[in-house]
Amino acid sequence: MVFVAYKKFGNKEYAYEMKSYWDKKTKQPRHKSKYLGVVLDKDKKIFKKTLRERFMKDEIILDFGDTFLLYEFIKKEGFINLLKTSFGDDVNTIINLIFYKLCYPSAMRLAEIWQNGNVIKHLCKADLQSQRISELLADIGDELKYRKFFENYIPFIRHSSNGLVLDITAMPNQIQIPVSEWGYGDECIDKQIKLMAIIDKASSMPLFFRYTPGSISDVSCLEPTIIEMKKFGINDACCVFDAGFYSKNNIESLQEKKISFVVRLPAGTVLYRELIDKSGDIENMKYALIYGKRGLFVKKHKINLFGKKSFAYLILDPERKGRETKKLILKAGEEDGVEKIKNFILRKKGFMILLSSIDLSDSDVLTFYYSRYAVEQLFKFSKDDLKLLPLRTHMEESMRGYLLLIFITLSLFLLLKKRLGKTVSVEESLLQLRNIKAKVYKDEIIIPEMTKKQRLLFEKFDIIVPKTLGI
């Protein structure tokens, strides 16, 4: 016999389908219940399940390969110990959220649904309800925990003294916290927060991040960032940054602290014009240089930069010069102003000028400067792949915790990328391994056979996949 039973909790009533059956073992009548949802109309028997209730069912076949590899990898690399030391009892929830961002980046409110279909709920148990995630982000975003993480993380990464790359990006948002202010970015004015990232030039691993109000100019962020980096033991490295950080105050501060640097010189400065005027003979084969697949001309000058001996590198890209010159002439022709083009505007086409506090070879100065694209790629990956934006938190502690979670996810992503090499991407690998489904029984998990591609991926990480796992 089947009937509907009702239970009331608080101000809501819930419906359950009850099915009677005869238990042969106990020789007694029993009931099986099935949850139907919140009662909307009792007479018409209309019930409704919440989004979470509709999706949260006990799965017996789970995604296995992607999170099993990630879990075994962080154990082998010592990354899990780093997280335990930094976050204590919150470590399992953090691991779940990192894996969620890597395997299925989406809104945090959907993390629990993802978890329910993945073996991670047995490997690393954690509560991923929305309220718990919000509490966690606020907890790890506490300033003391933020500092503790970097005190543990920077020695773990073992950064070199070969160079640091600094860059900044705007994070437009509509969140109501003091640090979100109106500022200029991407050729428009938005409410935003500025995110500064520092990476190790040699390894391209992220070392540190900090954020500032959107109204603060990029040029004002450099010195405070360097001071804070030193507090975490990041010293004695050449800093590489773009023209937005160039200013007399910043350069003099670096000179005073004896910090080496490589910076692009803004085109609007007097020094830029003076150096372009000295570039007359640069298109000479003695200045020619092959950099990757590009042919460049590079000419070095000794200069006096705010009272200190420095070096200026004039870099001319002939291909770029041709494109920019053609564009300038066509534009001027449309406006009947070809004759009005000033010689300086024409001469500077295709040029970039780098300044360095140390004497570098022509190829080294280019390598130093172009290493900053690693930071740009990190920003791009954070925004596009990890869904960094839009920011949805409305407390500064929660926002800091969320940024810290993204930072940790990026670090793990890059460690995976280094191990995989250039033959296969992290995204492709995780998708390939997600196709390994595990069957869950009462007391153990059974892992099926793998394809050759899947087996080779595990071999790259020296991870042995068992036939069964206990629960």
- CA nearest 164: which of 311, 368, 359? 368
pLDDT digits (tens, 9 = 90+) for 66-106: 999 999 999 999 999 999 999 999 999 999 999 999 999 88
Q: CB of 194 within 8 A of CB of 168?
A: yes
* pLDDT score for 25: 65
Contacts of 188 (CB under 8 A, 6+ apart): none
Q: CB of 280 within 8 A of CB of 246?
A: no
Any idea where the domains of the chain sit in the sequence? 2-49, 57-235+376-471, 243-371
356 HSE (CA, 13 A, CB side): 22
Q: CB of 265 within 8 A of CB of 333?
A: no
The DSSP line for 343-377 is HHHHHTTTEEEEEESS---HHHHHHHHHTTHHHHH
pLDDT digits (tens, 9 = 90+) for 396-411: 999 999 999 999 999 9
| Partners of 263 in beta bridges | 241, 355
* pLDDT score for 235: 75
pLDDT digits (tens, 9 = 90+) for 405-453: 999 999 999 999 999 998 899 999 999 999 999 999 988 899 999 999 9
> Residue type for 469, please?
L
Of the pLDDT bands very low, low, confident and very high (cuts 50, 70, 90), residue 334 is low
The DSSP line for 272-302 is HHHHHHT-TT-SSGGGEEEETTEEEEEEEEE
pLDDT digits (tens, 9 = 90+) for 290-309: 998 899 999 999 999 999 99
- Runs of H (alpha helix) within 61-162: 65-77, 79-87, 91-103, 111-116, 120-123, 130-140, 143-157
What is the rounded CA–CA span in Å between residue 397 and residue 395? 5
**Of the ranges 185-194, 236-245, 308-317, the best mean pLDDT one:** 308-317
State the average pLDDT over residues 366-378. Answer: 85
Of the pLDDT bands very low, low, confident and very high (cuts 50, 70, 90), residue 339 is low
Given a cut of 70, whether residue 188 has pLDDT beyond it is no
Q: Residue 227, Cβ neighbours under 10 Å: how many?
A: 11
Higher pLDDT, 181 or 159: 181
Given a cut of 70, whether residue 213 has pLDDT beyond it is yes
What is the rounded CA–CA span in Å between residue 360 and residue 313? 10
Average pLDDT taken over every residue of the chain: 88
Of the pLDDT bands very low, low, confident and very high (cuts 50, 70, 90), residue 21 is confident
Given a cut of 70, whether residue 236 has pLDDT beyond it is no
Given a cut of 60, whether residue 355 has pLDDT beyond it is yes
Q: CB of 83 within 8 A of CB of 77?
A: no
State the average pLDDT over residues 46-66. Answer: 71
**Of the ranges 5-14, 76-85, 339-348, the best mean pLDDT one:** 76-85
* pLDDT score for 368: 87
* pLDDT score for 13: 84
Q: CB of 70 within 8 A of CB of 427?
A: no
Given a cut of 70, whether residue 55 has pLDDT beyond it is no
Q: Residue 148, Cβ neighbours under 10 Å: how many?
A: 16
Of the pLDDT bands very low, low, confident and very high (cuts 50, 70, 90), residue 234 is confident
Contacts of 108 (CB under 8 A, 6+ apart): 97, 130, 133, 392
Given a cut of 80, whether residue 237 has pLDDT beyond it is no
Given a cut of 90, whether residue 392 has pLDDT beyond it is no
Q: Coil, strand, or helix at residue 423?
A: coil
Sheet hosting strand 61-63, strand order edge to edge? 61-63, 437-440, 444-446, 468-470
Given a cut of 90, whether residue 333 has pLDDT beyond it is no
State the average pLDDT over residues 8-21. Answer: 77
pLDDT digits (tens, 9 = 90+) for 259-289: 899 999 999 899 999 999 888 899 999 999 9
Please tell me the least confidently modeled range out of 24-33, 103-112, 162-171: 24-33
